[in-house]
Amino acid sequence: MKLFKLILLCLFLFSNAYANTIYDLIKIPHLEIYNIKTDNKLRYLYAKQPFTIGLDNNINCFNSRKKDLEKKYVIIEKNLRRYSKDFLKKINLKYIVLCEDLSISGIGTAGIPDNIMKTLIVDIKFNEKYFERVLHHEVFHIINDTYKEIFDKEIWSSFNPSGFNYAKCSTCTKKIGLDTYLKTNGFITEYSRSTASEDMAEVFSHLMYGNIPDEIDPILKKKIEFIKKGISKIDKNFVL
Amino acid sequence: MIEKIKASTSEKIIFIFILILGLFSLTSFLLLKDRCLFVKNYDPEKIKFKDPSNIAILNVGCGNVIIELYPEISPNGVARFKTLIKSKSYDDVAFHRVIKNKLVQAGDLEFGKKGNIDYGKIGTGKSGLGTIKSEIDKEFDYSKGSVGLARTQKYNTEDSQFFIILQDEPLYEGEFTPIGKVIYGIKVLEKIKYLDKSEYVLRPDFINSLRLFN
């Protein structure tokens, strides 16, 4: 036992300070490169071990099996390659972190965007049915956070039916349904009713995924135009 | 009368072994003490350069490091580097951040000068010339020996600090302004003093001089 402790002590004493480039850049530990040779220069990283980050260590995510990563990477890359290198630079998105069972303060979430660190953490096991659309939803949060003045919440809220108020935060409500309404009434999904920013992200993701209902009400029509105009202000070449 | 005792064979073997061990220890001690022993010191005068106006000679403890600068990739970054070289600002400045086999970083002109080091602030000093914009749009292969300008967590905060990488760092492309690449003498940098437990070096090695070739 003593010998074992001595060996452990020696290993500790003689191991070098391991400087992790990825950690230096985006402050998330235990990540490795999945693929960085992409046309739009997005860098895909994956969790080699579970990691914990955030204020009070409230963000957790776990490593995935290689097979799951391979399967989901194809889907994620297919969707995110629609954003050009120039557009991604304008919105401050560069790193995609792939992991599973992502949660913030114990609440499961599809993704955590951080435009300051140019990072989007994606839960590769999030709801299969909406997975692709939700990717665009999360990208919109990056866009919104980078261009708050373009996607003004007050202007957006003014489109809503009179008397309607959003919840105080996206997790402060039970309105979390992601099914697209067949009959819209200013909102495209139940989750749209949670906050202005989630509402915008839902509209944007439907536009990107191409599943806007055939019949849309005048409020939703205004919202769609607002998103389209906002995106064209950032990049007039962006195809929405 | 003193009786002469002959040494046995085993005693002779032990004596020879101890003698060899002693000699080995002595030579090892002398050799290991000279950390530059197996490091080649390049003489820039004996090398023909394609573009001598963009060659910088960094002289440190174990010899010369010859850097080729790339003004076509980062005109402002290289211009700033050259300005500080011409004013001899980098002389006697510490390699304050060194990570074994990964990178060496120097260039804190405010808190990293020999005789005036401030360990509490080193790495945060300024040149007095102001910051410059990041030049990260052009493609650049951050392979071993690449030289880049250091910055804070924010872009457009490059000033005088620079780093040289001792291993390939593909993720640095698009993050840091590249200004050149070491073409001779990378081994000299591998001998720069580092600490096992910290990136920031107490009693660090210093740049002797940094000059432009022409």
Tokens of B8: 């046995």
CB contact under 8 A, A17 and B100: yes
Contact A22 B171 (CB under 8 A): yes
DSSP-based helix, strand, coil % in chain B, nearest 5: 25, 20, 55
Task: Report yes or no: B45 and B64 within 8 Å, Cβ to Cβ.
Answer: no
Query: Is the Cβ–Cβ distance between A167 and A198 less than 8 Å?
Result: no
Comparing alpha-carbon positions, the chain B residue that sits nearest to A26 is B153
Render pLDDT for A192-205 as a digit per residue (tens, 0 to 9): 999 999 999 999 99
What local confidence, expressed as pLDDT, does residue B27 receive?
77
φ/ψ (deg, to 5) at A221: -60, -45
Q: Check pLDDT > 80 for residue A146.
A: yes
Chain-chain contact of A21 with B199 (C-beta, under 8 angstroms): no
DSSP symbols for B67-94 = EEE-TTT-HHHHHHHHHHHHTTTTTTBB
- pLDDT tens figures, B70-103: 999 999 999 999 999 999 999 999 999 999 999 9
Record the tokens describing residue A22, joined without a space. Answer: 């990825």
Which of chain A's residues have a Cβ under 8 Å away from the Cβ of B103? 19
| Alpha-carbon span B135 to B173, nearest angstrom | 11
* Per-residue CA distances from A206 to A161, A188, A211, B80, B188 (Å): 21, 8, 5, 48, 57
**Beta carbons of A39 and A75 less than 8 angstroms apart:** no
What does DSSP assign to residue B200?
Answer: B
CB-closest option in B102, B170, B171 to A19: B102
Nearest CA in chain A to B169: A21
Q: Which of A15, A16, A21 sits opposite B171 (nearest CB)?
A: A21
Quick one: what percent of chain A has pLDDT higher than 70? 90
* pLDDT score of A101 more than 50: yes
Q: Under an 8 A CB cutoff, do A41 and B197 touch?
A: no
- A vs B, Cβ pairs < 8 A, gives 29
Asked whether B85 and B188 are in contact (CB, 8 A), the reply is no
User: Is residue B175 scored above 90 in pLDDT?
Assistant: yes
A49-87: pLDDT as tens digits: 999 998 889 999 999 999 999 999 999 999 999 999 999
CB contact under 8 A, B171 and A15: no
pLDDT mean across residues, chain B: 94
Alpha carbon A96 to chain centroid, angstroms: 9
What is the CB neighbour count within 10 angstroms for residue A102?
23
Q: Which residues in chain B have their CB less than 8 angstroms from residue A21's CB? A: 169, 171-172
The Cα B171–Cα A34 span in angstroms is 12
| Cα→Cα distances A89→A118, A119, A222, B71, Å | 9, 12, 28, 23
The domain B44-212 belongs to what CATH superfamily?
A: Cyclophilin-like (2.40.100.10)
Q: What is the pLDDT of residues A18-52, one digit of tens each?
A: 448 999 999 999 999 999 999 999 999 999 999 99
Give, rounded to a whole angstrom, the gap between the first and last alpha carbons of chain A: 65
Task: Reply yes or no on whether the pLDDT at A9 is more than 70.
Answer: no
Whole-prediction pTM value?
Answer: 0.82
Task: Report phi then psi at A188, rounded to 5.
Answer: -95, -30
Q: Considering only residues B194 and A11, tell me which one the structure prediction assigns the higher pLDDT.
A: B194
The backbone torsions φ and ψ at residue A45, rounded to the nearest 5 degrees and listed phi first, read -120, 155
Burial status of residue B33 (CB atoms within 10 A of its CB: 0-12, 13-18, 19 or more): exposed
